[in-house]
Amino acid sequence: MKGLMRWLLGILGLGLLAFGTNEVREATSGGGAVVLVVTGGVLAIIALLFDRLERLSVGSSGLELQFSREIAEQGAPSAAQILERSGVAGFAEAYGFIHAELADGKYRDAKVYLQDRLVERAAEVARQQKFEASEVRTLFRNGSPMVRVLTLGLMKGDPSLADGGTITSAIADSRSANEQYQGLLLAKLCWRQLSKSERQTILTSIDNDLHISEGADRQMLASELHSLPMS
């Protein structure tokens, strides 16, 4: 029975994932396509890891997502609670499965799209809830590539959480092309609150980076930043 269940989950998950990925690429179904990709990906991975899934544990307050535990352990317990209550932790958990297990290049566009949606969800929560800047910056320094991008989303929603050091690191020491893109976007958003020296450091980092030229969207943001006033 367990083998049959695994087989059914795998077939259903891969079918939804393939259809949702195609819809995302063609940008025809918006949020509906994202739901298909997330649902299909999670079902497919559950099938693959049927005997090993232990993503939930029982804590003092009931069910607790492993992602939330990791956030708390990295020095951001308050942020972990907000992310779990808001549903962002659950979204990040699902995305983490998809990103780690579906490495085939044909899923790249869908994964980037989902990561962008994760950033937007985080930004929306940060506009409504108050995070501690020290926790968010600590998460960026200590977190995985996905967590780093998520924290940039929080800073996008509440620019007071951002600082010049984090923005520079996202651009000059990024873990992924998407992180660098989000860092450039955040630099543009926060430009007025940065000091002259921080602005100059960011521009110098842009000039010295070899990867920005690999993406047209990053090139465009870099050019826009160079056109902004220094004082």
What pLDDT digit, counting tens, does each position of 167-184 carry?
Answer: 999 999 999 899 999 999
Q: Do 66 and 152 fall within a single domain?
A: yes
Q: Do 67 and 4 fall within a single domain?
A: no
Q: Do 31 and 82 fall within a single domain?
A: no
CA geometry: angle 158, 139, 104, nearest 5 deg:
100
Among 161, 187, 205, the domain boundary falls at 161
Band (194; pLDDT cuts 50, 70, 90):
very high
Q: Do 138 and 176 fall within a single domain?
A: no
Q: Do 38 and 60 fall within a single domain?
A: no
Q: Do 147 and 182 fall within a single domain?
A: no
Among 136, 161, 186, the domain boundary falls at 161
Number of domains in the chain: 3
Which has the closest alpha carbon to 24: 113, 90, 145? 113
User: What is the predicted pLDDT for the residue at 66?
Assistant: 79
User: What is the predicted pLDDT for the residue at 89?
Assistant: 84
- Where is average pLDDT lowest: 40-49, 87-96, 102-111, 133-142? 40-49
Tokens of 63: 């069910």
Q: Do 91 and 137 fall within a single domain?
A: yes
Whether the pLDDT of residue 199 is over 60: the answer is yes
Q: Do 228 and 191 fall within a single domain?
A: yes
What pLDDT digit, counting tens, does each position of 47-64 carry?
Answer: 444 444 444 443 434 334
Beta bridge partners of 96: none
More confident residue, 18 or 71: 71
Q: Which residues contact 34 (CB under 8 A, 6 or more apart)?
A: 20, 24, 113, 114, 117
- Where is average pLDDT lowest: 17-21, 199-203, 217-221, 222-226? 17-21
Cα–Cα distance for residue pair 83/122, rounded to 1 Å: 8
Q: Do 180 and 192 fall within a single domain?
A: yes
Q: Do 127 and 196 fall within a single domain?
A: no
Among 145, 161, 177, the domain boundary falls at 161
Q: Specify the pTM.
A: 0.73
User: What is the predicted pLDDT for the residue at 104?
Assistant: 65
Q: Do 114 and 185 fall within a single domain?
A: no
Parent domain of 33: 1-52
Q: Do 187 and 96 fall within a single domain?
A: no
